[in-house]
């Protein structure tokens, strides 16, 4: 688009140059005087006779009219080019503006609330399987930090496998928290497990067996709520 506009701008400049040349008329060049020696005496000035009354002195009206017509045509061409360029630029700007408009999601999904048929209780079998896998993962790793991360990852997979709608602004952790805490009795335990996970995953903490035991208790309570 920029290359096309540049080419049109160069064309407009050339047309303007043609307009300027046309308005100035034809160039005239007088030959140089190469005569040498003494200058001849000026010839006597003869009195000017007035033209007869029926004749008008010649003028350049014809040349001026032709130049005016050419100038008008060139100006019209320049105006047409400018209007065409402006129309193309406006169309390109409108197209870019429409493409940048964000797609407004439905209010239910955008706010992270459940829509119709998005009841976690209906997905309880998938959630129970994921919670059971998380309980096994908490003891399936020698390092307590790896065990906590694996346990939370199991909960995230269970929420994903449930096939429920995830809000456009929700992180995987927020989505998992909302789904598992749908049964309010599990809210405190799932939040406690999330805190342990975030300390290991993002804060770089090195948990010990006491943190593993706390995560195990939280998972057991969550499993009991969703049983």
The DSSP call for residue 217 is H
Q: SS3 of 13, please?
A: helix
> Is there a domain that residue 150 lies in?
yes
Q: Mean of the per-residue pLDDT values for the chain?
A: 73
**Residue 128 sits in the same domain as residue 97:** no
pTM of the model: 0.46
pLDDT at position 161 is 77
pLDDT at 105: 40
SS3 of 198, please? helix
Position 78 pLDDT exceeds 80: yes
Residues 74 and 149 in one domain: no
Residue 139 sits in the same domain as residue 177: yes
pLDDT band at 102 (very low <50, low <70, confident <90, very high): very low
Tell me the residue range of the domain where 198 lies.
109-225
Three-state SS at 216: helix
70 and 154 part of one domain: no
Average pLDDT, integer, range 124-143: 86
Predicted confidence band of residue 39 (pLDDT cuts 50, 70, 90): low
> Hunting for tokens 């939040």 — which residue is that?
191
Report the number of distinct structural domains present in the chain: 2
Question: 95 and 114 share a domain?
Answer: no
- Tokens read off for 77: 């061409």
**Collapsed DSSP state (helix, strand, coil) of residue 96:** helix
- Mean pLDDT confidence for 61-88: 79
H or E element in which residue 58 lies: none
């Amino acid at each position: 688009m920029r290359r096309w506009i540049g080419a049109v701008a160069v064309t407009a400049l050339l047309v303007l140059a043609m307009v300027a040349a046309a308005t100035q008329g034809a160039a005239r060049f007088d030959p140089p005087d190469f005569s040498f020696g003494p200058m001849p005496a000026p010839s006597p000035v003869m009195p000017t006779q007035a033209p007869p009354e029926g004749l008008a002195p010649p003028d350049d009206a014809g040349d001026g009219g032709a130049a005016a017509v050419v100038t008008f045509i060139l100006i019209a061409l320049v105006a047409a080019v400018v209007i065409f360029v402006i129309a193309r630029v406006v169309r390109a700007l409108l197209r870019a503006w429409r493409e940048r408009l964000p797609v407004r999601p439905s209010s239910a999904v955008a706010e992270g609330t459940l829509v119709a048929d998005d009841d976690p209780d209906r997905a309880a079998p998938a959630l129970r399987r994921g919670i059971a896998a998380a309980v096994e993962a908490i003891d399936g790793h020698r390092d307590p930090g790896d065990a906590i991360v694996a346990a939370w990852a199991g909960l995230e997979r269970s929420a994903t496998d449930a096939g429920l709608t995830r809000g456009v602004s929700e992180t995987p952790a927020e989505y998992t928290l909302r789904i598992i805490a749908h049964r309010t009795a599990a809210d405190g335990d799932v939040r406690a497990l999330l805190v342990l996970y975030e300390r290991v995953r993002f804060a770089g903490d090195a948990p010990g067996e006491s943190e593993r035991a706390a995560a195990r208790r939280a998972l057991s309570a969550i499993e009991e709520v969703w049983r």
